[in-house]
Structure 1
Amino acid sequence: MSKDKSQETIPYSILELATVGKGVSVSDTFKNSLKLAQAAEDLGYKRFWLAEHHNMVSIASSATSVLMSHIAGGTKSIRVGSGGIMLPNHSSLIIAEQFSTLAHLYPDRIDLGLGRAPGTDQTTAQAIRPDRMQAVYQFPQELEQIQKYFSKENVNAKVRVPIAEGINLPTYILGSSTDSAHLAAKLGLPYVFASHFAPTHLFEAFEIYRREFKPSKFLKEPKTIACINAIVADSNEEAERISTSMIRMLIGVLTGRLDYMQPPTAMTPDLKAVVENPALQRMMAYAFAGDKAMVSEKTKQFLEDTQADELMVVSHIYDYEDRLKSVTLFAELMKDLNAVPA
């Protein structure tokens, strides 16, 4: 696989939403998330990140830092992080306290990914924090405040998070537009793009980030992570069947009719017709469903096109065993791609 920048292998990671399937309890969903993280650790995945969402019956990762502790406590080496914490929903001081606590509990394993989107609808966002829009505009300042809490130099400040001072806790900027690219570049922080559901500005954002990047004490050169959806099965037909759960979930997002993740069905002509909807096509631009050979080829092309330094994978799959199989096959194809000389 050609790599323009270096001979380094491409790390691969998982973004988890603790997706709740129809007829599956939240408790079992959390148990399955932990089992998946344990399997991912054994399969060579670098990170297991959890995303903050609210007021969605199909997503149970709303208390992100709490669930991170559950995952980190049940694993040994895989990095556990937020993908991300939606900072305008929170106090910077509280996030600094929560994540420095996690970093002490699980040394050198915690990542803090920060975004500015609400992770929910506007009515719920208002319920979370009535002054949220003001906090959105203050996102750069709030982010820098967290970094101050993490610094040893904050020891003489009037407001401190003593357990955070000098902590080893990498911070990542998440985005789905070009605004976040400018900010990540300015602050010299790694940049993660949500191309798994909002791919429109992916290439423009990466170009801006790399062009404007300023080295910092955190990072000497640009670092990018790109996200894809991947469903890998033993055959293309089986992957297509499994993917119907994801397709119905995305339709629910687009129509505002959110529901639990549905069990997979055959790909009907009606569902195929819906998939051709332009809005759904845009959202699924980087949704790869197929056997290992097909997904490998699409993943290889994606990495060559984006020159991403790391790949993060989302898999909306109803059945845990199907998801475990997909995660296993994806790890195999990444190891194969990384083994090919540039």
Structure 2
Amino acid sequence: MSVDLSKIPYSILELATVGKESNVKETFKQSLDLAQKAEEMGYTRFWLAEHHNMVSIASAATSVLIGHIAGGTKSIKVGSGGVMLPNHSPLIVAEQFGTLGNLYPNRIDLGLGRAPGTDQVTAQAIRSDRMKSVFKFPEEIKEIQQYFSEDNKNAKVRAAVAEGVNVPIYILGSSTDSAHLAAKQGLPYVFASHFAPSQLHEALHIYHNNFKPSQYLEKPYTIAGVNIIAADTTAEAEKISTSLIQMMLGVMSGNIDYMQPPEEFTNEHRQILAHPQFQRMVKYAFIGDASTVKQKTRNFIAETGVNEVMAVSHIYNHKDRIKSFQIFSEIMKNKI
């Protein structure tokens, strides 16, 4: 099946990754610079992830960072990819995103997930009763929807800043559970295939076959994450990708550190990339020159039928990262 990439929206998921020789302040500065350039490049969304207790990722206070990015841009949609709802009170989430929605009308997205975004010890420190909230995830989504509803103005508990404000909700997931939920509630579905690809196809099948139209969405809408590392040459992209390889090895071994600078790409790196255990995490890592990344992206969209792709890029050097997203933008515009 031929895919016209120019018809497919493309977006960015930002984790505000902190490099070995950088710091949080510089990382935030670079995140804003990337968002501003992404806006110029035609990206649809710029989402921030929620992670905790990780020195390599600075997107912990997600709603605060969303406000920073939205305040420094003009038109690109900014949102959460996502807010891990069991870590938070639905009322507070509604107040935070209602506030953002008022400050930046029709530009704020609320992606909701149920994973902790951290290790279990830290999750317990965030909210000791979070497991109750995990099981109430569907109900708490409905609570947030109610807080955003104009009909809630007569309720005893209100999020007045959210009532009637347009902040679309997206269901995030990395398993089939979230697919059932998104389909049942008639909400757009975002799959974390950039780090958990194994159940992508099954989850999309469940979502499409069980989708029920709602007041929020008439027909299914899917977004999937892919790792993009593009450069002028494949050799250059492979060298840049060694930072991602080192980061993923750290995640797999539980030894999470700052993102490391790239090193020479060797046969050992190639073997690691091809290893089944590694592929279970980064099957959809598109590394190479424009032609290589374009073909892999086209194949991915043809195989999955997703409505939108969300690019993730763990690249050590900021200029290299901007260049990679520039190449990907030109790919999606069918300019190269």
TM-score category of the 2 structures, normalised to the smaller one: over 0.9
For residue 114 of structure 1, give the secondary structure of its aligned residue in structure 2.
Answer: strand
Structure 1 residue 36 displacement after superposition: 0.2
| Separation of aligned partners in 1, 2:250 and 2:5 | 41
Shift of 1:267: 1.2
Q: What runs of 5+ residues in structure 1 fail to find an aligned partner?
A: none
Does structure 1 residue 2 correspond to structure 2 residue 6? Answer: no
Aligned to 1:37: 35
Whichever residue aligns with residue 194 of structure 1, its letter is: A
Residue of structure 1 in register with 2:243 after alignment: 245
* Native 8 Å contact 2:17 2:27 kept in 1: yes
Aligned to 1:79: 77
Query: Whole-Å Cα distance in 1 between the matches of residues 256 and 114 of structure 2?
Result: 22
Q: Which residue in the other structure is 1:187 paired with? A: 185
For 1:285-300, list aligned pairs within 5 A.
285-300=283-298
Separation in 1, partners of 2:196, 2:64: 27
**Within 5 Å, which residues of 2 pair with 1:120-269?**
120-269=118-267
Cα distance in 2 between the residues matched to 1:215 and 1:272: 45
How far has the Cα of 1:163 moved from its partner?
A: 1.4
Which amino acid is 1:134 matched to?
A: K
**What does residue 336 of structure 1 align with?**
334
TM-score, structure 2 as length reference: 0.98
| Contact residue 224 and residue 306 of structure 2 kept, 8 A | yes
Q: Does 1:98 find its partner at 2:116?
A: no
Cα distance in 1 for residues equivalent to 2:5 and 2:57: 38
Distance 1:153 1:26 in 2: 41
The Cα shift of 1:277 comes to 2.9
Question: Residues of 2 paired with 1:184 and 1:304: CA distance?
Answer: 22
Provide, for residues 223-250 of structure 1, a one-character-per-residue CA deviation record: whole Å limited to 9, x for no partner: 0001100000000000000000001001
Match of 2:278 in 1: 280
| Aligned residue identity for 1:172 | Y
Q: 1:213 to 1:133 in 2, by over 3 A?
A: same
Q: For 1:257 and 1:100, how far apart are their aligned partners in 2?
A: 37
For residues 310 and 75 of structure 1, do their structure 2 counterparts lie closer, same or farther at Cα, with a shift above 3 Å needed?
A: same
Distance in 1, matches of 2:5 and 2:56, equals: 40
> Distance in 2 between the 1:84 and 1:243 partners?
25
The amino acid that maps onto 1:2 is: S
Aligned pairs for 1:13-92 (under 5 A) are: 13-92=11-90
Equivalent residue pairs, number: 336
What is the alpha-carbon distance in structure 1 between the residues aligned to residue 6 and residue 294 of structure 2? Answer: 18
Question: Structure 2: how far apart are the matches of 1:50 and 1:311?
Answer: 15
Equivalence for 1:315: 313
Shift of 1:268: 2.7
- For 1:233, the aligned partner's letter is A
- Long gaps (5+) in structure 2: none
Output the CA distance in 1 between the equivalents of 2:270 and 2:191: 28
Could you say what the CA RMSD is over the residues aligned between the two structures, in angstroms?
1.4
Structure 1 stretches of 4+ moved >6 Å: none
SS of 1:250 mapped into structure 2: helix
C-alpha distance in 1 between matches for 2:251 and 2:174: 16
Report the Cα offset of residue 173 of structure 1: 0.1
**SS of 2:7 mapped into structure 1:** coil
**Could you tell me the percent identity over the aligned residues?**
64
Deviations 1:67-123 (A, max 9, x none): 001100000000000000000000000000000000000011000000000000001
| Alpha carbons of structure 1 residues 106 and 324: separation in structure 2 relative to 1, 3 Å | same
The two structures have a TM-score, normalised by structure 1, of 0.96
Residue 156 of structure 1, CA deviation: 1.1
SS in 2 for 1:71: helix
